[in-house]
Amino acid sequence: MLVSIGGSKCALHWDSENSNSLWVGRRETLNGEYVKDPSVLKPAVGSVSSYPGGHVEGFPDTFKQNFVKIYQAIAAGKQAEREYATFGDGLREMILCEKAVQSAKERCWVKI
């Protein structure tokens, strides 16, 4: 999967086949490629990075980190301050996907 975002001041490009790095293109200065390394990440981001720099975290790690956050919230009794999706969030995503498929099949806008 590729994700590219172009803005008026910079552009970003991420490729899931090289998931450990992010390319940033800038108008005002040099372009650069940033590699994930917990030692240089902000604490909130570094807390969900389990491996040292140079070691790729992959798709299964997202589930591990999700459950870490869920168990931390339960242990702290802070379910209201969550950093993870709920069943309601999942239901909303499924409805959106179904409506996108319906819209494509019917070749028109559909109400969500």
Q: Average pLDDT across each block of 10 residues of the chain; the chain has 112 residues. List them in order.
A: 93 91 94 88 82 80 88 83 86 96 96 92
Query: Are 25 and 77 within one domain?
Result: yes
Which residues, 6+ apart, have CB-to-CB distance to 83 below 8 Å?
A: 69, 73
Q: What is the DSSP letter of 61?
A: H
Return the pLDDT at 13: 97
Query: Are 97 and 59 within one domain?
Result: no
Return the pLDDT at 45: 79
Return the pLDDT at 8: 93
Query: Are 98 and 65 within one domain?
Result: no
Return the pLDDT at 72: 87
Domain that holds residue 105: 85-112
Query: Are 89 and 79 within one domain?
Result: no
Return the pLDDT at 96: 96
Query: Are 72 and 34 within one domain?
Result: yes
Return the pLDDT at 104: 96
User: Per the structure block, which two tokens stand in for 12?
Assistant: 């970003």
Return the pLDDT at 29: 94
Query: Are 112 and 79 within one domain?
Result: no
Query: Are 98 and 79 within one domain?
Result: no
Q: Which of 25, 17, 51 is nearest to 36 (CA)?
A: 51
Q: Number of folded domains in the chain?
A: 2
Query: Are 73 and 94 within one domain?
Result: no
Query: Are 55 and 108 within one domain?
Result: no
Instruction: Enumerate the β-bridge partners of residue 85.
Output: none
This prediction's pTM: 0.54
Query: Are 79 and 54 within one domain?
Result: yes
